[in-house]
């Protein structure tokens, strides 16, 4: 097949610009997960009898339990949001093939 002079292969698969909003969302989700770990550690430390890590915020065992639960919830939500953002960032944006035509991995 003869290619003409005005043929441009880059037109077939245009390169899309990187999505900075998803990268920023992934960074914020990672920060939320790290903050959740810190809150959970502070709540667990108070429940285990160590001195309160956050001053008067978690003096009682009830407040420490709330901090532990809030920290674990924030950790779970941060990891879930980070994974969703990373999955969307890594999604291929080129030409698609039917799933049964793709090479099997593993």
The rounded Cα 87 to chain-centroid distance in angstroms is 9
Both tokens assigned to 6: 């005005």
CA dist 6 and 31 (Å) reads: 49
CA dist 43 and 73 (Å) reads: 13
Both tokens assigned to 45: 């430390």
| pLDDT for 60 | 80
What does the DSSP 8-state code read for residue 57? G
Residuewise pLDDT in 10s, the chain (106 residues): 566 667 666 666 656 666 789 999 999 999 999 999 999 998 888 888 876 666 776 678 888 889 999 999 999 999 999 999 998 888 766 556 666 666 666 5
| pLDDT for 11 | 66
Q: Could you tell me the maximum CA-CA distance found in the chain, to the nearest angstrom?
A: 80
- The pTM of this model reads 0.67
Q: Specify the 3-state DSSP secondary structure of 98.
A: coil
């Amino acid at each position: 097949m003869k290619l003409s002079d005005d043929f441009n292969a880059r037109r077939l698969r245009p390169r899309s610009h990187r999505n900075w909003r998803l990268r920023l969302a992934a960074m914020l989700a990672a920060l939320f997960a790290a903050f959740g770990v810190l809150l959970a550690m502070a709540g667990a430390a108070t429940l285990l009898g160590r001195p309160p890590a956050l001053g008067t915020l978690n003096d009682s065992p009830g407040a420490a339990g709330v901090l532990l639960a809030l920290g674990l919830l924030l950790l779970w939500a941060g990891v879930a949001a980070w994974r969703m953002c990373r999955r969307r960032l890594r999604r291929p944006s080129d030409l698609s093939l039917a799933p049964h035509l793709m090479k099997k991995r593993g």
